[in-house]
C-alpha cells in the first residue's frame, strides 16, 4: 500500500491550489469588472460603449451569452420600431447563433421563448435578466427584475449623462452596481 509522502501538507497544498485557481478565474479576458464589494440580491451591470453602432453589437452578444447560459431574458427597447430592428439583428448578427426570441406583443402565453423583446409594460413576465436598450430613462417597472444589464454610452455627452441617470436610478433601487470595461 503506497501512501502520500506529504500527508500533512497535502490538504494545505490543495487549498492553496484551489485559492490560486479561483483567483485566476476571477479575471476575465473580455472585461474587467469593478464593483463595490457588497453582497446584494439584485445586481446591475453597466457595459461601456465607446463608439456609435457598438451598442447594438454588444446587446446581441450579451443576449446570446445569457441565452446560452440558460437565463430567461427580457430586452427593453423604447419603442416598437427599435423592437423590430433588434428582432431582425438577433436573427442575423452571427452566422452560428440561434437565439429563439419573440416580441411581447406577438407572444402568446405561456411563453416558450427564452428571450422576450418588449417596448411596453412587462405585465407578469418573469425573467432573470433585463437587458436595457434605451438612451433615455429606465422604465418605471425596471426594479421588477433581479438582474439588469445596461449600456453606458461614453462617446456622446448627452447620452453619457442619460447613462449616469440610469446608473443612479439602479443604485437608488438597491442594486449592486458594477461597470464592465470594454476596449475603446
pLDDT score recorded for residue 125: 78
**Which residue matches cell numbers 445569457?**
66
User: Would you state the pLDDT for residue 28?
Assistant: 27
pLDDT for the residue 149: 97
CATH class in words for 29-181 = alpha beta
Asked whether 155 and 51 are in contact (CB, 8 A), the reply is yes
Alpha helices in the chain (DSSP H): 10-25, 54-68, 80-92, 157-172
Element (DSSP H or E) covering residue 116: strand 115-118
Q: Could you tell me if 82 and 135 are in contact, meaning their C-beta atoms sit under 8 angstroms apart?
A: no
Q: What is the pLDDT of residue 11?
A: 43
| Per-residue cell: 16 | 492553496
Q: How far is CA 80 from the centre of its chain?
A: 22
| Cis peptide bond upstream of 110, omega within 30 | yes
- Tens digit of pLDDT per residue, the chain (184 long)? 445 444 444 344 444 443 333 333 333 222 223 334 444 589 999 999 999 989 999 999 999 999 999 999 999 998 888 888 999 989 888 888 888 888 887 777 766 788 989 888 887 778 899 999 988 899 999 999 999 999 999 999 999 999 999 999 999 999 999 999 987 6
Give 46's strand partners: 150, 179
At 26, phi and psi to the nearest 5?
Answer: -70, -15
pLDDT of residue 63: 94
Residue 126 is predicted with a pLDDT of: 81
Residue 36 near residue 101, CB atoms below 8 Å? no
Name the residue ranges covered by the structural domains of the chain. 29-181
Residue 27 CB neighbours (<10 A): 9
pLDDT for position 102: 81
Predicted local distance difference test score (pLDDT) of residue 105: 78
Amino acid at each position: 500500500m503506497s501512501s502520500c509522502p506529504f500527508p500533512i501538507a497535502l490538504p494545505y497544498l490543495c487549498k492553496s491550489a484551489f485559492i490560486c485557481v479561483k483567483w485566476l478565474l476571477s479575471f476575465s479576458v473580455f472585461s474587467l469588472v469593478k464593483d463595490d464589494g457588497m453582497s446584494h440580491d439584485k445586481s446591475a451591470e453597466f457595459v461601456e460603449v465607446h463608439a456609435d453602432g457598438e451598442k447594438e453589437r454588444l446587446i446581441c452578444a450579451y443576449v446570446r451569452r445569457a441565452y446560452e447560459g440558460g437565463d430567461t431574458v427580457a430586452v427593453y427597447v423604447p419603442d416598437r420600431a427599435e423592437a423590430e430592428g433588434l428582432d431582425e439583428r438577433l436573427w442575423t448578427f452571427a452566422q452560428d447563433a440561434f437565439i429563439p426570441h419573440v416580441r411581447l406583443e406577438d407572444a402568446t402565453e405561456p411563453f416558450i421563448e427564452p428571450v422576450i423583446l418588449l417596448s411596453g409594460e412587462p405585465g407578469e413576465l418573469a425573467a432573470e435578466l433585463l437587458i436595457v436598450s434605451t438612451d433615455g430613462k429606465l422604465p418605471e417597472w425596471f426594479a421588477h427584475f433581479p438582474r439588469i444589464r445596461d449600456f453606458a454610452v461614453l462617446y456622446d455627452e448627452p447620452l453619457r449623462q442619460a447613462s449616469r441617470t440610469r446608473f443612479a436610478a439602479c443604485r437608488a433601487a438597491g442594486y449592486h452596481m458594477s461597470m464592465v470595461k470594454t476596449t475603446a
